[in-house]
Amino acid sequence: MAEARAESAPVIQQRDTRRQLRTAPIAATTLWAGTLAEVFDARLFRASTESVASRLEKHLADVAIRGLELTDPEILTKTARGLMTPERDRIAAFDEERLSAIVDLYVRTGIQVHSPGAMGRQFSGVIPLAGVVDFVSSVVNQPSSFYEAGQLPNVAERIMAEELNRFIGWEPDSFAMVTTSGGSLANLTALLAARNKHFPDYWSQGGGALAGRPRPAIAVGADVHYSVSRAAGVMGIGDEQLVRLPLGADQRICLDRARAALAEAERRGLEVFCLVASAGTTAVGAFDPIDGLADLAREKGIWLHVDGAHGASLLVSDKLRGKLGGIEKADSLTWDAHKMMFVPAPCTLLFYRDKRDSLGAFRQQASYVFDEQPDIYTALDSGDKNFECTKRPMIMPLWALWSIHGRALFAEKIEYLCQLTEDIHRILVDEPDFEPVHRPEANILCFRHLPDGLGENEVHRLQLDIRNRLKIQGNFFISKVDIDGVAALRVVMMNHRTTTEHFRMLLGEIRRAGYDLRHRDHSSDSE
């Protein structure tokens, strides 16, 4: 059976990708000769932009259901090389057909985030206007870590910090926000700030500053995002010094058992300096009890960091804000705008309740960027607060959307996606051959296909095989996750074009895949 599976997938991929990647010959006609001046010519910019925009317009208007069509890397590499100019000694002339072929290849390979069939990841189909503003950022190329280099982006960061803090609830003049390239970097930065506050000499002296003290540790939910354990390794804390707090049946940190776990950590010779709660776990979208954990952390003298990379965006919705009850008590918050605020990645916002703590993650002097005499301009610099020196002006698409359309744009789409997930949960409850693993709290739902006659020891493998079958052959892209050691199918509702009818179509594909897989297995066994 395994051999048959291994042989069939490449055959399917080979057939499909040869059809998909067939490209027209590159025409020899050009509009501009190849000189340095002409490559930078504004008219060429206009022509190439209009060509690309027309193709992207067609892409956005296409509402066809598409899954993930994996391409054989060798075929894709050969196709990509075929699009490269053979010129090696001179600047090649601009070729519009070559550019069009490159864009077409780019658009049709990879995840089709704008398709109603894209349900597999937390990648968002961006609000188109956000892409336009991001395009402007790419052309003007103003790095935003320092005010003098990117003046409007730094002002926009301050404005968006003030706008979004209205939903967090911190004192207006006491908090701080800095943008980072992704939630993983934001979590690392917050953990560094927490460690350096708890162990003031660690930055300069390293582990030697802890002589005679217990080992530093971080308390996390049992299914915390891997970026936190990765950060523990980067910081020299070590994965074994992660105190994993037990989860309840709802996949949230169990507050009653968390206290005992912290006490046990202390008996093991660990000194917990930070507790990480999740607002929308990656696996199932669970929201930890922030309010109670904040009280526990304050009682223990522990920094509370909330990883709200996925779920913090619910704060902008009056209907859903309660999911993050107690967020005003947290010390820091990670918020990915490139997930549920639907802007290009990366765009992560890292908030601190006390703005003085934002200066604690990195303690350095560098005369070539950090001014010795602060003024009204350097007051907006963020280079001393984040790991990046050259940083994209990632706030611009979010600020532009907020400026033009306002909060309601985000709130309405988020509320639709969360309601859609509730609706598909009800559909699953009524389907005898499917079992939802949990009640959704936002827009993530995990479930299993359990056809009649399926043995308990077959459940895990069937979910894996179904997901792989859909990935290769299906019209829908979904993911999988292990829950309590058993695989489950996972959908993330990120597209407002997706409806319950699309989900019913997905269930039909899952049933067919499950039947084919089991029928084939049984046929193989009988032979």
- The CA-CA-CA angle for residues 283, 285, 290, to 5°, reads 120
Most confident by average pLDDT, 64-73, 87-96, 386-395: 87-96
Residue ranges of E strands in 111-199: 176-180
* Secondary structure in 3-state letters for 177-240: EEEECCHHHHHHHHHHHHHHHHCCCHHHHHHHHHCCCCEEEEEEECCCCHHHHHHHHHCCCCHH
> Does the pLDDT of residue 398 top 50, yes or no?
yes
Q: What pLDDT shows up at residue 15?
A: 41
> Does the pLDDT of residue 5 top 50, yes or no?
no
Among 42-51, 137-146, 509-518, the least confident range: 137-146
Residue 482: band (very low, low, confident or very high) from pLDDT cuts 50, 70, 90 = very high
> Does the pLDDT of residue 78 top 90, yes or no?
yes
The span from the CA of 376 to the CA of 391, in Å, is 21
Q: How far is CA 51 from CA 46, 55, 139, in A?
A: 9, 7, 16
Q: Within 10 A of 239 (CB to CB), how many other CB atoms are there?
A: 10
- Which helix or strand (DSSP H or E) is residue 351 part of? strand 348-352
Cβ atoms 125, 118 nearer than 8 A = yes
Q: What pLDDT shows up at residue 210?
A: 81
Closest among 448, 470, 468, 445 to 459, alpha carbons compared:
448
Cβ atoms 494, 285 nearer than 8 A = no
Place of tokens 């049992």: 222
Alpha helices in 109-182 (DSSP H): 128-140, 151-168
Mean pLDDT within 102-130: 91
> Does the pLDDT of residue 352 top 90, yes or no?
yes
> Does the pLDDT of residue 177 top 90, yes or no?
yes
Residue 74: band (very low, low, confident or very high) from pLDDT cuts 50, 70, 90 = very high
Cβ atoms 310, 341 nearer than 8 A = no
pLDDT digits (tens, 9 = 90+) for 96-112: 999 999 999 999 888 88
Among 240-244, 266-270, 386-390, 456-460, the least confident range: 386-390
Among 15-24, 84-93, 189-198, 272-281, the least confident range: 15-24
Mean pLDDT within 84-103: 93
> Does the pLDDT of residue 159 top 80, yes or no?
yes
> Does the pLDDT of residue 273 top 80, yes or no?
yes
238: left (phi over 0), alpha (psi -120 to 50) or beta: left
- Asked if the peptide bond before residue 346 counts as cis, ω within 30 degrees of 0, the response is yes
Q: Please state, rounded to an integer, the average pLDDT across all residues of the chain.
A: 88
Cβ atoms 441, 285 nearer than 8 A = yes
Q: What pLDDT shows up at residue 32?
A: 59
Cβ atoms 217, 237 nearer than 8 A = yes
Handedness of CA 199, 309, 364, 230 (dihedral sign): positive
Closest among 357, 301, 362, 364 to 333, alpha carbons compared:
357
Cβ atoms 378, 218 nearer than 8 A = no
Q: What pLDDT shows up at residue 145?
A: 79
Q: Which two tokens stand for residue 150?
A: 């990117």
> Does the pLDDT of residue 11 top 50, yes or no?
no
> Does the pLDDT of residue 203 top 90, yes or no?
no
Q: What pLDDT shows up at residue 29?
A: 44
> Does the pLDDT of residue 25 top 60, yes or no?
no
DSSP state of 94: B
240 against 445, higher pLDDT = 445
The span from the CA of 490 to the CA of 89, in Å, is 51
Q: Within 10 A of 425 (CB to CB), how many other CB atoms are there?
A: 15
Indicate the SS3 state at residue 253. Answer: strand
Residue 522: band (very low, low, confident or very high) from pLDDT cuts 50, 70, 90 = low
- Give the count of alpha carbons within 13 A of 25, CB side only: 3
- Return all residues near 205 (Cβ < 8 A) that are at least 6 apart: none
Amino acid at 239: D
> Does the pLDDT of residue 381 top 90, yes or no?
no
Mean pLDDT within 403-416: 97
- Return all residues near 340 (Cβ < 8 A) that are at least 6 apart: 124, 310, 311, 312, 313, 314, 410, 414, 417, 443
Q: What pLDDT shows up at residue 3?
A: 39
Q: What pLDDT shows up at residue 6?
A: 39
- Please provide the size of the chain in residues: 527
146 against 12, higher pLDDT = 146
Place of tokens 């985030």: 113
pTM score of the predicted model = 0.89
